[in-house]
Chains A and B, each alone.
Chain A
Amino acid sequence: DGGITQSPKYLFRKEGQNVTLSCEQNLNHDAMYWYRQDPGQGLRLIYYSQIVNDFQKGDIAEGYSVSREKKESFPLTVTSAQKNPTAFYLCASSDRADRTDTQYFGPGTRLTVL
């Protein structure tokens, strides 16, 4: 089955710790994205990557870091510098050859910082 997986589904961390969220896709998509969702708000773009070994900051990149060493993987690290990290994190991917530019989403990871 082709799709996007995120793990874990729920993650708890103590304040001051870095934590890495996993995102893997087997759709052979070039582009991958990380969004943050807070209650009652839309999705806000954290980082995106159009190709391997390249990524760009989104609207709210401060306190986050990413890497794109493999086409299928785009992990997100939430660092201790992120002031309010508790949120629902969504990973997405898209195919640059798809003219509709549709983004496909993983199931999300809910991060709670205690």
Chain B
Amino acid sequence: GEDVEQSLFLSVREGDSSVINCTYTDSSSTYLYWYKQEPGAGLQLLTYIFSNMDMKQDQRLTVLLNKKDKHLSLRIADTQTGDSAIYFCAESWDNYGQNFVFGPGTRLSVLP
């Protein structure tokens, strides 16, 4: 079945760049997403990328998509302590939302 994988933990120093990686298995994905979850809260959509794009940039966030390798990454420039959270990668592959799969989440810790 469809599967999305992420490393579970990442630690970076404040001011450095963070790169969170994700691999997925379904080559027919239409959109891929990054969500952020702060402690005790719901998921907040950070950004998404259409599957025929290679890159998307939004302020400090850069998303790279390598469709051949089924690899998605999220780069956070100038990481701040407020970026400490769990980051989920997700994919969908139809227009009706029932085929939407999340990765296990990467817990980002930003050290002062």
Contacts and interface: CB of A to CB of B under 8 A. Distances in A.
Contact of B44 (A56, A105, A110): A105
Interface string A3-47: 010100000000000000000000000010101000011110100
Contacts of A53: none
Contact of B4 (A41, A42, A45, A108): A42
| Leading 4 A-B pairs by shortest Cβ distance | A105-B42, A105-B43, A42-B104, A42-B102
Contact residues of A: prevailing secondary structure: strand
Given A40-B104, A42-B4, A42-B102, A104 B31 contact: no
Interface string B94-105: 111110101111
Contacts of B102: 35, 42-43
B42 A101 contact: no
Interface of A: 4, 6, 31, 33, 35, 40-43, 45, 48, 50, 56, 90, 92, 94, 96, 99-108, 110
Contact of A50 (B30, B40, B44, B97): B97
B104 A103 contact: no
Given A50-B97, A106-B42, A108-B40, A101 B31 contact: yes
